[in-house]
Structure 1
Amino acid sequence: MKKILLIGRTNVGKSTLFNLLSKSNSALVLNQENLTRDIIEGKLTVDNDSYVVYDSPGLENIKLSWNTFPTLWKNIIEEVDLVIIVLDGIAGITHRDDEIIRFAFSFDKTIIGVINKSDSSKFDFSNFVTLPFNITPVSAEHGTGKSQLIDLIQNNLGESVDDAKAVEFKIAVVGRPNAGKSTLINSWTKQDRLATSPIEGTTRDSVFVPAELFDDDISLIDTAGRKKRNDLHGRLDIIMDIKAQKIIFSSQIVLLLIDAQAGMNAFDKRLAMDIIEKEKGIIIVLNKWDLIPDSQRKTILADINHFFHKRFFQITKPLIIPVSAIDKWNMTTLQNNIQKLREATLIKTKTNQLNKWLQTAVDKKSPPYSKIKRPIKLKYITQTHFKPPKFTIFLNRPGDLPQGYRLYLAKSLAKQFQLESISIKLEFKATKNPFVD
């Protein structure tokens, strides 16, 4: 059964809409903010089709960050097929609405919008036409617009998020405006598929380009140049930035393209952090390398390596590839490293091999004693996730295992299984009875 999630600001009418769709009164409705505090589940039945519908608390006083989002919400977001953003037709699009829209696009889900309270004389549909998804006006309180909304739901649940889903492996090319993203893709495909210009902002939207990587079909995705938040002017800039974030979320590998002449600035570093936080494979591509004097090259590479070692301790060998996109120089090296990174993200490690490594690592360097002077015993390890790989070590006292020893294990694991160029996740969990040695 396909699943639908309602999200939006506080008091825009999500609960009233939920009750309308599920034909229930399970969501309490009053003209008071923050009334819904839990995610409520209902059922929408249309002819022979049934859907699960979730009503969520208002996203008003919560940080919109995937890393800090409540686990329950994240689990439901990962399961749903359609996200409905509910907006207030009287209030229009607020700054908080823009933040919610940006955040919703990072889910990599099909999105539609419902403009509630459209029966009000203050409602102006033209205020909403620039939204980057299909919208429909309703009055959840009076039930008007329900049939059009159900049609929109059924139409969108029958479609994929984007046509490029048919190609499983996607590589996003991101970076500041005029770093050479379109030129890089043209060099890869050996065709002038994308417009290029020395003027910033030539690419105005994300473009999917079919390509090959060692005889495998892939999609290269050219994104509009990323800008600092303070430099986003107008809804078009915001929409392009939202779409670029969605592309990163749905890609397996991200090429962060940097103009080598300009160097890696604070904004580039923020982009790198964003990519790694989304658990994507990352390659730093230094474009226009041919314009860099030999005397400066070592310093540029050393500075980027230092940033990675300081900020991302688990990536001990970051992939930093100099190229000249316009001259097609070093493109083969770039493609070879993409393939290497691709294989690392797809690794499936046998449990017996992992536990053999764990025993060797512990023999080489024993964990310290706990705070109460009891031995910390690492019992076993298993791979718990693929694409990207995640591993879990079970032990008797995870809370007492120091960060330094965790770092030692993460680096040793990455080196043993040739995962030094990706951000692996290593978790530590207690066995059922931590007091049994």
Structure 2
Amino acid sequence: MALPLVAVVGRPNVGKSTFVNRIAQRQDAIVHEARGVTRDRSYHRADWNGTEFMLIDTGGIELQTDDAFGPSIRAQAVRAAAEADAIVFLVDGKTGLAPGDDDVAALLRRTDKPVFLVVNKVDDPSREEAVHEFWGLGLGQPWPVSALHGHGTGDLLDAIVETLPTETAAETVEAIDIAIIGRPNAGKSSLYNRLIGVERAIVSDVAGTTRDAIDTIVERDGLTLRLIDTAGLRRKSQIDDSVEYYGFVRAMRAIDQAQVALLVIDATLGVTDQDQRVARFAEERGCGIIVLLNKWDVVSGPDRKHEIAEQAGEKLGFISYAPVLRVSALTGAGTGRIFDAVKAVSEAYSQHIPTSQLNRLLTDIKATGHTVSKGRRHLKLAYVTQTRSQPPEFTFFVNHPDLVEPSYERYLENRLRETFNLTGTPIRLAFRKKA
């Protein structure tokens, strides 16, 4: 069963992400002094005295704003409140009561869920008189806290967990972690929303809309998947905004966590240098990879489609093991095949091949006589075994490990891929001297 949900809402820049990080005891949510840094709603596991729950970080609610993303951000926050079991309404104790607080309070007074009015930035506990003006919001007792220093959070959490439903006891979910990656504006959030069937991520044609990594559990055909939408990845030299840098760090962390990465490419532009770099990130970190040529429905003509498909094979040759699917996140065309591909790649990524089967292949390789020589020394393969999975690593025991050249490694990798199902997964080869 799912964990209870606690939504954290409020105006922009009142410290919601700092509060989430304090309660979750992790630095998952992006914290920045600029307004509007958090746009999507993101989920963070927390625990208080043995009670586990999920915190939902949300963007700032503003009814009057010039921000193009304002309505979408507000809608995400309202959805978070609607699905939550309890709501934390955060206000700023330093700036005092603001007109925007009245607007949010008016929305929350309509709910029948427990609402905790939390006055943040009361860094000096002796200044608790600063909370008195917030009684006027009509939401009951204000709770003074300092998310930065932790003052007052213990008593608040005691009260929150008392209101949470006990029948939704925590259950460990064994899920396949799937990171949706790509350069900015390739259609990652549209694909994310398509796959989960709900508008979780804000979709826009403005590059850099997604700044955090957000995730959702999806069950499909007996598979439990944790889909993680990430910020667009660019070269560090092109990142000129500190918020974007934090989004880059979160995206890299999501790749490190993932078993399979869905590399989303804008097919209307073809495979770019940026796409190659993103693919390198995933390959170097040992992710299984599926390449998605998105926006395939608007690629004009069979000649252009053939050209793009050939270009993908050439420019992404270093991940030639990755399946390539042609999809449209907008219309849904081809997206149903993604789940089948994820299942196949995940199985290949996690499998363990018996040593007996590997050594039968080794016998065939030795029978061909293909080896490496240097002077009077000849490379001899004694035996091979799989020494890890996720991704698979194979250790060859040989007489002279220093004789192994990159071309011979590629030869061995190709023979392994021809013989065993290693679709979509990188593999690692190690060479040790036979005792």
- Choose from 324, 327, 330 the match for 1:323: 327
1:267-416 alignment runs, 5 A limit: 267-293=274-300, 294-309=302-317, 312=318, 315-368=319-372, 370-416=373-419
- The answer to whether structure 1 residue 195 and structure 2 residue 202 are counterparts is yes
1:35-46 alignment runs, 5 A limit: none
- Residue 392 of structure 1 aligns to a residue whose secondary structure is strand
Q: Report the alpha carbon displacement of residue 374 of structure 1 after superposing the two structures with TM.
A: 3.6
* Per-residue deviation, residues 82-110 of structure 1 (Å, max 9, x unmatched): 999xxxxxxxxxxxxxxxxxxxxxxxxxx
Shift of the 180–83 alpha-carbon distance from structure 1 to 2, 3 Å rule, reads: closer
Shift of the 308–361 alpha-carbon distance from structure 1 to 2, 3 Å rule, reads: farther
Shift of the 397–164 alpha-carbon distance from structure 1 to 2, 3 Å rule, reads: farther
CA RMSD of aligned residues (A): 2.8
Q: 2: distance between equivalents of 1:165 and 1:292?
A: 43
Shift of the 164–345 alpha-carbon distance from structure 1 to 2, 3 Å rule, reads: farther
The runs of 5 or more residues in structure 2 that have no matched partner are 1-24, 28-148, 151-169
Q: 1: distance between equivalents of 2:171 and 2:280?
A: 26
Contact between 1:316 and 1:420, CA under 8 Å: does it hold in 2?
Answer: no
Q: 2: distance between equivalents of 1:420 and 1:373?
A: 38
Shift of the 364–288 alpha-carbon distance from structure 1 to 2, 3 Å rule, reads: same
- Residue 374 of structure 2 aligns to a residue whose secondary structure is coil
- Residue 334 of structure 1 aligns to a residue whose secondary structure is helix
* Per-residue deviation, residues 207-254 of structure 1 (Å, max 9, x unmatched): 112212422221111112223323323321111111111111111111
Q: Report the alpha carbon displacement of residue 268 of structure 1 after superposing the two structures with TM.
A: 1.2
Contact between 1:164 and 1:219, CA under 8 Å: does it hold in 2?
Answer: no
- Residue 316 of structure 2 aligns to a residue whose secondary structure is helix
* Per-residue deviation, residues 376-409 of structure 1 (Å, max 9, x unmatched): 2210000001111000000111212343332211
Shift of the 165–428 alpha-carbon distance from structure 1 to 2, 3 Å rule, reads: farther
* Matched letter for residue 331 of structure 1: T
* Per-residue deviation, residues 105-148 of structure 1 (Å, max 9, x unmatched): xxxxxxxxxxxxxxxxxxxxxxxxxxxxxxxxxxxxxxxxxxx9
Q: 2: distance between equivalents of 1:284 and 1:216?
A: 20
The runs of 5 or more residues in structure 1 that have no matched partner are 1-81, 85-147, 150-162, 433-437
Q: 1: distance between equivalents of 2:416 and 2:357?
A: 11
Q: Report the alpha carbon displacement of residue 316 of structure 1 after superposing the two structures with TM.
A: 4.1
- Choose from 201, 204, 208 the match for 2:211: 204
Contact between 2:323 and 2:423, CA under 8 Å: does it hold in 1?
Answer: no
* Matched letter for residue 219 of structure 2: E
* Matched letter for residue 396 of structure 2: I
- Residue 274 of structure 1 aligns to a residue whose secondary structure is helix
- Choose from 241, 244, 250 the match for 1:243: 250
Shift of the 358–191 alpha-carbon distance from structure 1 to 2, 3 Å rule, reads: same
TM-score with structure 1 setting the length: 0.58
1:46-65 alignment runs, 5 A limit: none
The structure having more radius of gyration, on CA atoms, is 2
* Per-residue deviation, residues 157-212 of structure 1 (Å, max 9, x unmatched): xxxxxx99855421011112221111112211222222222233332311112212
Shift of the 273–164 alpha-carbon distance from structure 1 to 2, 3 Å rule, reads: farther
Q: For structure 1, which segment, 372-381 or 235-244, has the greater mean C-alpha deviation from structure 2 after superposition? A: 372-381
Q: 1: distance between equivalents of 2:172 and 2:246?
A: 21
* Matched letter for residue 182 of structure 2: G
Q: Report the alpha carbon displacement of residue 420 of structure 1 after superposing the two structures with TM.
A: 4.7
* Matched letter for residue 278 of structure 2: L
Q: How many residues align?
A: 274
Q: 2: distance between equivalents of 1:276 and 1:239?
A: 21
Q: 2: distance between equivalents of 1:197 and 1:419?
A: 36
